[in-house]
Each structure stands twice: as structure tokens, then as C-alpha cells.
């Protein structure tokens, strides 16, 4: 309820946000929720059902955030709720092994051939951080390569911007991160093959691993080109570096086998060395994982010298939720239907924009999509930030007013669930047609 000291003026969302700002930094527990990028007051959500969010004022929104990816079945799927209720009756946390942890890992391994073993953790940040440590422990090297615009969580070594050139390693992008912590992290331009080759020529014998989002979802939706990904795999092989796929967002979202299965279809035999998962595999609960072939994973404690641990890792409620979700999305035809629905949305947005004389490009894979108010799809972070953020913000608020909840930032991808049907897509496109008409050129 609203803080009793807050004046009655303004909406209930305004009141709740004012109360939250007094006791929570920025009023939110994860920065993008604060609407700082788009302006205005964030909506405080009371409940969700299917493809819809309902805020504290009772307004309904078609949901394209999906808890930032996990809700691939939509909110409140009966099989998932039943699994969670049953697990709750057995206890919340044990700090000891459970059979369901093994079942969940086996369900992941069944769909991801590049992995022999998997370690469960509680967040994508934790999984990415652990994968970096494992790569360093397995290779005996310190250097890590990442790409501008790719986000791998808020671990110190990954909060880094590019140095002054390829001979220079990174600088922190967050206060509180010592320069020494990121001195071994090299930041390159996404989809730049020439720069990638030069970096390996200069630093190849020092690089432990290269971490990449195969389809970047944190600069909206930008996919790695086939030439870029093929060359990256070749260079890692040649120089003995480990290729780390961050599939926290894409894993079990763009395809049943993740983005790596999409690239394997185009490049037979293609596999990463280490894979990082989250979001969908937890079904909405705090759960993530990292995995690799057996020889790499056996370097982890208690078998090897690379230490990693977690009190709530493999939590019995989270594993029940994740396992129920994975069982549902493994049903025949699930991803064909999801991908078709997502394409229907993106194609409809393109058509609505064209009719209004507004430039728009879009792309999708499985249940992940993105669009830009520009005629051509950006290929890297520099091109993304050159797009018109002010026009996007106007579009975002126009859509929000019409009951469509897009990500409140230009730099975030969108998510479609199995609960999005014709009615939800048509409501979205009707709102888009009105919203595009307001943009003008």
C-alpha cells in the first residue's frame, strides 16, 4: 500500500514510486525498472496472467518483458504452478542434494550436445562470473575478451569499457570496480572480424576465454553474423582460448537447443566450449547454470582447484519450476509455433510503421525479438546508440498508454510467450498503428 505520508495527489503508481524512492535506491531493485531511460513513472505490478500484466491501478498491459525472458509459457501456466505447489509442500531449502537437481540438469543436457556436465547457480551474473573463473583455471591464462554492447551481469571483471586501442585492456564502467580488476579484460566491437583477428594477433597467448552473446539482447536485438562467429571459433581453436556462449537470454528462448543450435545448423559441427544459461531454465525462479565438456567441468571444486559454491544453488522450488517449464517447451511443435507468433508481431510492426511513413527495422529468433526506428538493422553497439532514442521514448509511452508494455529502454530486446495469441498480437498492432501516427517525420 502507499506510504501514509505521501500526499493523495497523483496516481497510485506515483505514490508507490515516491514511497519506494525513500527506502530503495532509485526506487527499484534493478536499474532498468526505474524508467530513467524513457522518463515517467514505472508501473507497479500487482499480478500477471497469461500474456498480461495488471498494475496496482487495475490497468492491463500486453506483456513483452516476460520478467526479462523467463516467462516463455506466459504467466501462471497450470503445469508450472502445480509443480511449484507440490515442491513447496516438501520444504523451501535444504542445503543438501536433491534428485530434482539431477533431473533438471539431465533435461538441459538432453538438448545441448556441447555440454557433458552442468553446475546450477542462482543468477545469470553468478553463472557468467563462474564461467570466467573456470576458463582462467582451465587455461592458466588471465585475459578475457568481451564485446561492446554485450552484457554478462554485474561481476567486476565484466563491467568494463574499451581501452584506447587494441593494445590496451579495459577500464571500469562502474564506480567501485578497481582498474586492476578489469586490466585483463579486452573489449572489442561486435561483428568486427578484422578487429577480432588483430586482437588475437596481439594477445592470443594471453586470452583464457572469449565471452559473447550469440544474439545480443542488451543492445536491443543484434545477432552475431556467421562470418564473425565462424572466425571467432577458428581463432579460439588456433590460440587455445575457450569460447564462452552467454545464453542467459537466448538459451531455450530462441530454440530448444539455444542459439548455439541455430549456429550449428548454419556451421555444421559448431559448438562453444562453455555455455551459460539462466532465465527460461528457472521458469521465473532464481536459477542459472554454466556447463562444458567433462574435462573442463572436472576442474571445479570439489574435484578440481577452481572454487565455486552457493547456499541456494539448486534450490528445490526453483528446480521444480524450471523442470516443469523445460518439459512444456520440449513438446513437439512448441518452438515452431512460438517463432511464427513472434514473426507475426515483428512483420506487423514493420507494416504498421511503413503505413505511417516511419522507418523501422526488426528481427526475431524463436521467442526473442527487437526493432529499431531506423531503416537498417544495426550490427554493433555504436550503430545502436546512433538510433533515435527520443523517438523511441515517445513510442514507448504511446504504447504504454494503449496497454502494451514494451521494455522501458531502447537497448533491450523483447519477449513473446506461448500465451500470446491472435488477440494479443492484434491489440499490440492496433496500438502500434496509433502510436506510429503520433511520431511523424
C-alpha cell of residue 193: 572480424
Specify the DSSP element, H or E, that contains 368: strand 368-372
* C-alpha to C-alpha distance for 408 and 319, rounded to whole angstroms: 30
Pairing of strands 242-247, 222-223: unpaired
Scan for cell 550503430, then name that residue: 383
Q: Is the peptide bond before 302 cis (omega within 30 degrees of 0)?
A: yes
Which residue among the candidates 61, 64, 151, 411 is catalytic per the annotation? 151
C-alpha cell of residue 219: 543492445
Which residue among the candidates 63, 64, 279, 405 is catalytic per the annotation? 279
Angle formed by the axes of helices 316-329 and 99-109, nearest 10° = 30
Strands, E assignment, 192-345: 207-212, 215-216, 222-223, 242-247, 274-277, 288-292
Which residue among the candidates 55, 63, 246, 363 is catalytic per the annotation? 246
Let me know if 246 is a catalytic residue. yes
Let me know if 146 is a catalytic residue. no
DSSP string, 106-173: HHHHTT-TT-SEEEEES-HHHHHHHHHHHHHHHHT--EEEEETT----S-GGGSEE--SSTTS--EES
Burial of 230 (0-12, 13-18, 19+ CB in 10 A): middle
Let me know if 279 is a catalytic residue. yes
Catalytic residues: 151, 246, 279
Amino acid at each position: 500500500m502507499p506510504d501514509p505520508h505521501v500526499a493523495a495527489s497523483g496516481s497510485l503508481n506515483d505514490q508507490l514510486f515516491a514511497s519506494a524512492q525513500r527506502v530503495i535506491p532509485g526506487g527499484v531493485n534493478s536499474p532498468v525498472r526505474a524508467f530513467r531511460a524513457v522518463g515517467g513513472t514505472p508501473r507497479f505490478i500487482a499480478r500477471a496472467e497469461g500474456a498480461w500484466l495488471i498494475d496496482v491501478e487495475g490497468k492491463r498491459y500486453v506483456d513483452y518483458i516476460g520478467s526479462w525472458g523467463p516467462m516463455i509459457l506466459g504467466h501462471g501456466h497450470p503445469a508450472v504452478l502445480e509443480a511449484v505447489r507440490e515442491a513447496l509442500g516438501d520444504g523451501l531449502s535444504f542445503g543438501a542434494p536433491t534428485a530434482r537437481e539431477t533431473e533438471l540438469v539431465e533435461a538441459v543436457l538432453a538438448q545441448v550436445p556441447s555440454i557433458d556436465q552442468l553446475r546450477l547457480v542462482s543468477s545469470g551474473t553468478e553463472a557468467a562470473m563462474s564461467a570466467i573463473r573456470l576458463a582462467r583455471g582451465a587455461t592458466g591464462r588471465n585475459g578475457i575478451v568481451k564485446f561492446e554492447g554485450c552484457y554478462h551481469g554485474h561481476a567486476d571483471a565484466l563491467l568494463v569499457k574499451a581501452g584506447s586501442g587494441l593494445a590496451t585492456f579495459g577500464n571500469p564502467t562502474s564506480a567501485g570496480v578497481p582498474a586492476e580488476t578489469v586490466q585483463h579484460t579486452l573489449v572489442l566491437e561486435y561483428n568486427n572480424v578484422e578487429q577480432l583477428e588483430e586482437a588475437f594477433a596481439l594477445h592470443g597467448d594471453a586470452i583464457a576465454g572469449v565471452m559473447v552473446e550469440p544474439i545480443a539482447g542488451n543492445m536491443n536485438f543484434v545477432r552475431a553474423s556467421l562470418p564473425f562467429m565462424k572466425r571467432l571459433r577458428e581463432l579460439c581453436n588456433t590460440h587455445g582460448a575457450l569460447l564462452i556462449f552467454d545464453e542467459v537470454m537466448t538459451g531455450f528462448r530462441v530454440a530448444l537447443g539455444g542459439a548455439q543450435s541455430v549456429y550449428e545448423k548454419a556451421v555444421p559441427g559448431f559448438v562453444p566450449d562453455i555455455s551459460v544459461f539462466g532465465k527460461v531454465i528457472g521458469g521465473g525462479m532464481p536459477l542459472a547454470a554454466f556447463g562444458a565438456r567433462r574435462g573442463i567441468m572436472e576442474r571445479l571444486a570439489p574435484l578440481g582447484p577452481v572454487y565455486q559454491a552457493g547456499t541456494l544453488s539448486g534450490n528445490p522450488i526453483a528446480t521444480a519450476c524450471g523442470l516443469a517449464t523445460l518439459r512444456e517447451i520440449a513438446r513437439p511443435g512448441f518452438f515452431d509455433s512460438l517463432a511464427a507468433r513472434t514473426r507475426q508481431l515483428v512483420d506487423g510492426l514493420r507494416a504498421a510503421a511503413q503505413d505511417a511513413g516511419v522507418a523501422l527495422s526488426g528481427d526475431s529468433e524463436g521467442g526473442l525479438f527487437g526493432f529499431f526506428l531506423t531503416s537498417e538493422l544495426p550490427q554493433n553497439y555504436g550503430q545502436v546508440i546512433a538510433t533515435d532514442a527520443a523517438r523511441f521514448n515517445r513510442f514507448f509511452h504511446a504504447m504504454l498508454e494503449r496497454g502494451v508494455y514494451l521494455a522501458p529502454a531502447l537497448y533491450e530486446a523483447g519477449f513473446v510467450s506461448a500465451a500470446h495469441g491472435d488477440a494479443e498480437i492484434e491489440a499490440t498492432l492496433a496500438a502500434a498503428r496509433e502510436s506510429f501516427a503520433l511520431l511523424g517525420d
